[in-house]
Structure 1
Amino acid sequence: MTRIRYGAPIWQLPLLVACFTVTGWIVARLSGEATAVRMLTWFLAAVVAHDLVLYPLAATADRVLVTAAGIGGRLRPAVRRAVVNHVRVPALGAALLFLVYLPGILRLGGGAFTAATGLTQEPYLSRWLLVSSTMFAVSGLLLAARLTLRRTRRR
């Protein structure tokens, strides 16, 4: 009966109240900070960048991947899902690593980085490419092993 009135499982209400409480506490703690406006600006810019740029880009790339996996129609649906997922996971890992290390990869703020660490940002791009290609290679090997195992089990 409660679900009908509330519209969701009852455990979601206390969880939502707890989330709002923690958020309120964080806002209260940060409101006295001198950089609160700058943090809020960065947060709002990240929300806008994610919702208006990154999410549509990722959704479009995923739709292209799913469509490309379905072209030809020779793959069974289970194999097609496996292929798509073995591309999705390393692509997500590479994209997240790119976002985390974006300033280093694009060599932004090199002077401040060198002054703070005594190092250069030179290896970031090559290391990101190496880690990303390794993720795709491992995923491809796992897919090949899975498909080979599936083929031998059917025989």
Structure 2
Amino acid sequence: MRRSARLLGTDPFRFLVLLGSFALAWYVFLRVRDQPELPALLLWFFGAVVAHDAVLLPLYSLGDRALTGIFRHRSPAAVNHVRLPALGSGLLFLMFFPGILGLGAADHAAATGQDQQPYLGNWLLVTAVLFGLSVGWWVVRVLLSRARCPGR
């Protein structure tokens, strides 16, 4: 195992996952290479990579650093009760931001026959539920911890 890790630069499982990712990317490229939309697709893909690495990564790294600073006197697991619902909410926002922000309402209405009005309310509701469940689970963990260790 150590010999293969030294040869591959990582453990064999991670190497196979990386190899599978490259195989999937190659398959997708072969499927879209003859499409007229390929330049726009590549521009969108590289724009997304740059936007993530140059804008989003520093922003959520800074937010996480601030969050860990706020929770530094608590257990590290307490931070995860904010991280997890924030991640879920953020990913939902990234997936549905045109509907949440009301962008492309005419195209959406033409394609589906529905308006985009419920997107914002539904996203806020899901976000509130995610954070509510996380707070509830944190309270249960604290109560169970105090029940096990009454002196705490």
Provide TM-score, normalisation by structure 1.
0.85
User: Aligned residue for 1:92?
Assistant: 87
Give 1:104 shift.
0.3
Structure 1 pair 12–136 and aligned structure 2 pair: CA distance change class (3 A): closer
**Which residue identity is paired with 2:81?**
H
**Percent identical:** 39
Q: Distance in 1 between matches of 2:115 and 2:67?
A: 36
1:62 aligns with 2:64: yes
Is there any run of 5+ residues in structure 1 with no aligned partner, and where? none
Inter-partner Cα distance in structure 1 for 2:132 and 2:76: 18
Aligned mates of 1:129, 1:61 — CA distance in 2: 20
> Is 1:137 paired with 2:132?
yes
* Number of positions where the alignment pairs a residue of Structure 1 with one of Structure 2: 148
1:50 equivalent in structure 2: 52
Match for residue 40 of structure 2 among 38, 41, 48: 38
Match of 1:147 among 138, 142, 148: 142
TM-score by length of 2: 0.87
Partner of 1:82: 77
Give the Cα separation in 1 of the matches to 2:127 and 2:41: 30
Task: State the Cα deviation string for residues 3-46 of structure 1 (Å, max 9, x = none).
Answer: 44543335655654444343323222211011111111111111
Q: Secondary structure at the match of 2:34?
A: coil
Corresponding residue SS for 1:120: coil
Question: Which 4+ residue blocks in structure 1 deviate beyond 6 angstroms?
Answer: none
SS of the residue aligned with 2:140? helix
SS of aligned partner of 1:101: helix
Question: Superposition RMSD on alpha carbons, in Å?
Answer: 1.9
Residues 82 and 143, structure 1, Cα contact 8 Å, conserved in 2: no
- In structure 1, give the amino acid aligned to 2:93: F
Query: Structure 1 residues 152 and 3, CA, compared in 2 at 3 Å: closer, same or farther?
Result: closer
Corresponding letter in the other structure for 1:43: F
- List alignment gaps of at least 5 residues for structure 2: none
Q: Which moved more, 1:24-33 or 1:110-119?
A: 24-33
